[in-house]
């Protein structure tokens, strides 16, 4: 039986800070469908602890924030993307305040600004140590009270729908096939514009700070639809996640180090100054590699993050979430050090977009961690991610709003055909492949890489994709199968990108190529069906890349 079509002006896939911000900016004039694969609050935004970077203090400057971002990005940031983001930081944060987000204030009523690794000034506005939750809960409440936004929870996007445009002759995005987890059926959602705001792909790794939904869905769907991706080899590993047998994906915010927490070996000895003069406030890639090095050198299961030398009242006031969560596991951070390990945290690459969030496929936009904007370069500067979500969501919304009235509604799409598939009695295949994928990604494509390990991972991921494709073609889909299919795609993109980069830069560190190449170039992967688009976005380039006049593909 054909399922009814769901027709909207704009279809937003993803319910984090980026998707919610865009939906709220468009709802005054357009009907918006907002899809969430779980509950609205189950994405990565809710769990973000640190804060939002912005130029808010009189002693700070746009140029200083730009310089810090460029420095962290190790030569691969696109200067115009960095300037665009930073120059819009104050307006983006003021918009959040206007929505009702309550950021932490000093006793005199001024906003408290903290400092994180790689920043030269205190410029991180935050809500204690649960900024993501404060932002997310506020935006969710606003969305739920906005009549023109329809929220569809427990709906997982499967694949984008492409149609040739009668006027331009180019393909356009016309909607998406969506799996309804409640009914276990596939529905069709269509819109004049489609926006991917699905987050990153850190669940490709065995250990991650991200919630279960971070399976790279938007990146995989865009790739299958013919969009280019860039810099997928730059996976940020957060240096400090709680090491405890009962803890799952618990991030220990970098703001602890910003307020004086120190990293120590099991012996109690500090070690970061041996790796970088900035010590614990070095950029995340340096800290993560240092921890990884010391753990392997000593055969240690973890290292320790210690803030117990600070006043207990200060610790409880500034880090209530970390304090309470650690206490649940029997760790009083005002009296003892926290056992920590690195874990996959942020995907710096993604779908190539311009400053309006436009992808290579007409009427397909992408915002947030799903994207490659040129902001992060080879390593994301702390707390620039939530800023990017809001800045680019506002920019994309402005472009959609100014052009949507000229875009004809898409033609009705074909219903999903599930007539030739059967129920599977071999779901163990999915769980086994899921576990194997994440394990070899961690072992072979992790913090420190070698060409031999990468080639082994590439061979295995392609075999896995063949198995997944066969399973996908013959059995009814499930949410686990959808995510496994997408994770296999993004894992191959990560591996291919890592093999292409024969140097060590930022988050990509290779024992075979420990030095820097003279020219800093993006790694751009082009899908076989890219020529179908006959249109592609023009992104900015890094300074050294512009001088060289070339890109790696």
What is the architecture, at CATH level 2, of domain 238-345? Alpha-Beta Complex (3.90)
Copy the structure tokens of residue 291.
């921890």
| Edge-to-edge strands, sheet with 52-53 | 52-53, 124-125, 113-114
Length of the chain, in residues: 553
Count of Cβ atoms closer than 10 Å to residue 406 Cβ = 8
**Residue 119: CB partners within 8 Å, gap ≥ 6?**
53, 68, 381, 382, 383
Element (H, E) at 162: strand 155-164
- d(Cα 16, Cα 111) in Å, to the nearest integer? 24
Q: What are the two backbone dihedrals, phi and then psi, of residue 178, each rounded to the nearest 5 degrees?
A: -130, 130
**Is 274 among the residues known to form the active site?**
no
Scanning 185-254, the segments in alpha helix (DSSP H) are: 217-224
Q: Tens digit of pLDDT per residue, the chain (553 long)?
A: 445 579 999 999 999 999 999 999 999 999 999 999 999 998 889 888 789 999 999 999 999 999 999 999 999 999 999 999 999 999 999 999 999 999 999 989 999 999 887 899 999 999 988 899 999 999 999 999 999 999 999 999 999 999 998 888 889 999 999 999 999 999 999 999 999 999 999 999 988 888 888 999 999 999 999 999 999 999 999 889 999 988 877 889 888 998 999 999 999 999 999 999 999 988 777 898 899 889 889 989 899 999 999 999 999 999 999 999 999 999 999 999 999 999 999 999 999 999 999 999 999 999 999 999 999 999 999 899 999 999 999 999 999 999 999 999 999 999 998 877 877 766 788 888 999 999 999 889 999 999 999 999 999 999 999 999 988 888 889 999 999 999 999 999 999 999 999 999 999 999 999 999 999 999 999 999 986 665 667 665 554 443 333 343 3
Domain with CATH 1.20.58.100 in the chain: 428-517
Choose the catalytic residue: 133, 228, 284, 485: 284
Closest CA to 238 of 278, 277, 288: 288
Q: Which of 72, 199, 52, 211 is nearest to 131 (CA)?
A: 52
Q: Enumerate residues 6+ apart whose C-beta is below 8 A from 462.
A: 492
Residues of the chain with CATH 3.90.700.10: 238-345
CB 170 within 8 A of CB 210: no
Q: Nearest Cα to 295, choosing from 251, 336, 339?
A: 339
Q: Give the closest residue to 27 by CA, choosing from 114, 148, 122, 198.
A: 148
Q: Is the pTM of this model over 0.85?
A: yes
Q: What is the CATH number of domain 428-517?
A: 1.20.58.100
What is the distance between the alpha carbons of residues 448 and 59, in angstroms, rounded to a whole number? Answer: 38
């Amino acid at each position: 039986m054909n399922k009814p079509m769901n027709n909207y002006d704009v279809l937003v896939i993803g319910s984090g800070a980026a998707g919610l911000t865009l939906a709220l900016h468009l709802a005054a004039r357009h009907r918006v469908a907002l899809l969430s694969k779980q509950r609205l609050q189950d994405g990565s935004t809710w769990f973000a602890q640190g804060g939002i970077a912005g130029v808010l203090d009189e002693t700070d400057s746009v140029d200083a924030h730009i310089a810090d971002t460029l420095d962290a990005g190790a030569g691969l940031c696109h200067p115009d993307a960095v300037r665009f983001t930073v120059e819009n930081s104050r307006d983006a944060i003021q918009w959040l305040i206007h929505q009702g987000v309550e950021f932490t204030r000093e006793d005199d009523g001024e906003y408290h600004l903290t400092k994180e690794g790689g920043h030269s000034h205190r410029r991180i506005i935050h809500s204690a140590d649960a900024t993501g939750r404060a932002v997310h809960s506020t935006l969710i409440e606003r969305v739920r009270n906005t009549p023109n936004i329809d929220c569809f929870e427990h709906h997982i996007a499967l694949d984008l729908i492409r149609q040739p445009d009668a006027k331009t002759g180019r393909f356009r995005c016309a909607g998406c096939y969506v799996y309804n987890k409640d009914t276990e059926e596939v529905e069709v959602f269509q819109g004049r514009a489609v926006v991917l705001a699905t987050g990153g792909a850190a669940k490709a790794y065995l250990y991650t700070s991200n919630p279960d939904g971070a399976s790279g869905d938007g990146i995989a769907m865009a790739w299958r639809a013919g969009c280019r991706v860039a810099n997928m080899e730059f996976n940020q590993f957060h240096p400090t996640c709680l090491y405890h047998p009962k803890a799952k994906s618990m991030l220990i915010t970098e703001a602890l180090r910003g307020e004086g927490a120190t990293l120590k070996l099991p012996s109690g000895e500090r070690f970061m100054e041996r790796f970088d003069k900035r010590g614990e406030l070095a950029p995340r890639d340096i800290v993560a590699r240092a921890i990884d090095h010391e753990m392997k050198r000593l055969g240690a299961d973890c290292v320790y993050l210690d803030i117990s030398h600070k006043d207990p009242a200060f610790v409880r006031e500034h880090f209530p979430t970390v304090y309470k969560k650690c206490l649940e596991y029997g760790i009083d951070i005002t009296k003892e050090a926290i056992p920590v390990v690195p874990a996959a945290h942020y995907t710096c690459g993604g779908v190539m977009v311009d400053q309006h969030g436009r992808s290579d496929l007409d009427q397909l936009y992408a915002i947030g961690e799903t994207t490659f904007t040129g902001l992060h370069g080879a390593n994301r500067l702390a707390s620039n991610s939530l800023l990017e979500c809001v800045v680019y969501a506002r920019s994309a919304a402005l472009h959609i709003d100014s052009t949507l009235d000229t875009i004809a509604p898409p033609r009705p799409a074909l219903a999903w055909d599930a007539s030739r598939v059967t129920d599977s009695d071999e779901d163990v295949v999915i769980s086994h492949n899921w576990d194997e994928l994440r394990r070899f990604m961690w072992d072979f494509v992790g913090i420190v890489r070698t060409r031999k390990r990468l080639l082994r991972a590439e061979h295995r991921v392609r075999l896995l994709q063949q198995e997944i494709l066969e399973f996908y073609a013959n059995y009814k889909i499930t949410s686990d199968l959808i995510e496994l299919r997408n994770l296999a795609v993004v894992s191959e993109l990560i591996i291919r990108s890592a093999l292409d980069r024969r140097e060590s830069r930022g988050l990509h560190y290779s024992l075979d190529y420990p030095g820097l190449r003279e020219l800093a170039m993006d790694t751009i992967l082009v899908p076989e069906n890219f020529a179908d688009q006959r249109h592609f976005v023009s992104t900015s380039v890094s300074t050294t890349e512009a001088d060289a006049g070339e890109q790696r593909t």
